[in-house]
């Protein structure tokens, strides 16, 4: 194989020799380490599809952490390896290390997490070539043979693909997510609003969501406006929906299961949400999205194009309703409202 880069990646001298001595057709086993929540799991799917295509004879193992297995694309791999996570802190260190070592030898290990746990998995398991994207330069020489740099200004699913591009993969575009999605149960055209996020501090204020949906329900009466509620107790939408009781075209819905949520999102005209895994699901399903950002950097979670937009302020302040509403109106016009 050949390393295809001049800048933007790194390889040790030994790593270059290892890559040059390896043939794609002879790669028999690959491990992919991904320790992340639902949204990040969804974004891994295009990488796994291209990995299978580029290394056709490899058996693929997906290494997960026990507190992040929801939505993992297990159907795209041959084996799943799960180590102990933060939900199993009572497990002894010896038992944890034993489980980590069960990953075993692989011709190539891709560390798609770059966390303290994933670093330990890389360190304690042998591989022909170890590939990662360490944020700290010192970790390159300690853990990896090849390192691909990542930017906060590029969509994460595309950045992950660079770990195959460095070996000369001619990856397909648009990205292939290929989710199995059931038909929608809602007949009227609708817009979905998801006011939750992974943490409370990433959530656009409920009062602003309520004001936005009131304006939308008035102006876009031909649409059903569905407020999707998360599963945690603190994700209640009662505060948002209570002032909207007079609107027949506004309703609440619960994110009960991944299948039903995915079906709801897939057939929506638009999803309006915070920086959250639900938005990544919509992106993977091909649904238009408007992400509201003020806590995290938008570019990393924003695939550019006419069907995806981001509402944020350059100074990092919370976007107001007027700005978000204007973005929605322009998107609906572009989408053929």
The string of pLDDT tens digits covering residues 174-190 is 999 999 898 877 778 99
Domain with 297, as residue range(s), is 190-332
Give the pLDDT band (50/70/90) at residue 310. very high
Q: What is the DSSP letter of 224?
A: E
Q: Which two tokens stand for residue 302?
A: 């924003």
Do residues 160 and 274 both lie within one domain?
no
- For residue 81, what is the domain's CATH number? 3.40.50.2000
How many domains, in total, are found in the chain? 2
Task: Check residue 337 and give its pLDDT.
Answer: 53
Same domain? For 19 and 151 the reply is yes
End-to-end CA distance of the chain: 49
Provide the CB-side half-sphere exposure for 156 (13 A, CA): 19
Same domain, 203 and 272: yes
Helices (H) and strands (E) in the chain, counts: 11, 13
Same domain, residue pair 212 and 305:
yes
Residues 214, 187 contacting (CB under 8 angstroms): no
pLDDT in tens, 23-58: 999 999 999 999 999 999 999 999 999 999 999 999
264 Cα distance to chain centroid: 18
Could you tell me the pLDDT band of residue 306, with boundaries at 50, 70 and 90? confident
Tokens describing residue 193: 């609003």
High-pLDDT (> 90) share of the chain, %: 86
**Are 155 and 207 found together in one domain?**
no
Same domain assignment for residues 204 and 161? no
pTM for the complete prediction?
0.93
Q: Do 322 and 203 share a domain, yes or no? A: yes
Q: How confident is the model at residue 269 (pLDDT cuts 50, 70, 90)?
A: very high
φ/ψ region of 104 (left if φ > 0, alpha if ψ in -120 to 50, else beta) reads left
Same domain, 148 and 295: no
Q: What are 209-252's pLDDT values in tens digits?
A: 999 999 999 999 999 999 999 988 899 999 999 999 999 999 99
pLDDT at position 335: 87
Is the omega angle on the peptide bond into residue 174 within 30 degrees of 0, that is, cis? yes
Q: What is the pLDDT of residue 255?
A: 83
Supply the pLDDT for residue 183.
84
- Tell me the C-alpha distance between 171 and 51, whole Å: 9
Return the residue matching tokens 């509402």: 311
In a domain, 281, yes or no: yes
- Considering the domain architecture, whether residues 20 and 158 belong to the same structural domain is answered as yes
Q: Tens digits of per-residue pLDDT, 91-112?
A: 999 999 999 999 999 999 999 9
Q: Which two tokens stand for residue 321?
A: 């309703």
Q: Are residues 108 and 195 in the same domain?
A: no
């Amino acid at each position: 194989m050949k390393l295809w880069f001049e800048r933007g990646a790194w390889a040790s001298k030994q790593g270059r020799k290892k890559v040059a001595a390896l043939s794609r057709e002879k790669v028999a086993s690959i491990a992919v380490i991904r320790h992340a929540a639902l949204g990040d799991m969804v974004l891994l799917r295009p990488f796994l599809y291209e990995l299978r295509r580029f290394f056709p004879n490899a058996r693929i193992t997906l290494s997960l952490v026990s507190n992040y297995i929801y939505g993992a694309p297990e159907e795209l791999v041959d084996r799943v390896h799960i180590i102990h996570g933060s939900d199993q802190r009572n497990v002894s260190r010896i038992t944890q290390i034993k489980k980590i070592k069960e990953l075993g030898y692989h011709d190539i290990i891709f560390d798609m997490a770059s966390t303290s746990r994933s670093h330990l998995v890389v360190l304690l398991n042998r591989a022909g070539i170890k590939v990662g994207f360490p944020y700290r330069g010192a970790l390159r020489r300690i853990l990896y043979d090849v390192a691909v740099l990542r930017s906060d200004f590029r969509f994460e699913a595309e950045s992950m693909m660079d770990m195959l591009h460095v070996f000369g993969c001619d990856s397909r575009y648009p990205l292939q997510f290929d989710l199995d999605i059931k038909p929608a149960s809602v007949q009227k055209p609708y817009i979905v609003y998801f006011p939750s996020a992974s943490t409370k501090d990433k959530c656009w204020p409920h009062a602003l969501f309520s004001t936005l949906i009131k304006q939308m329900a008035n102006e876009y009466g031909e649409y059903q406006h569905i407020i999707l509620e998360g599963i945690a107790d603190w994700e209640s939408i009662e505060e948002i929906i209570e002032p909207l009781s007079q609107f027949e075209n506004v309703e609440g819905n619960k994110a009960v299961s991944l299948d039903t949520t995915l079906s709801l999102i897939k057939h929506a005209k638009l999803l309006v949400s915070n920086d959250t895994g639900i938005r990544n699901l919509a992106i993977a399903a091909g649904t238009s999205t408007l992400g509201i950002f003020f806590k995290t950097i938008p570019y990393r979670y924003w695939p550019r194009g006419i069907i995806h937009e981001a509402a944020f302020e350059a100074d990092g302040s919370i976007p107001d309703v007027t700005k978000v509403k204007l973005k929605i109106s322009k998107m609906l016009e572009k989408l053929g409202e």
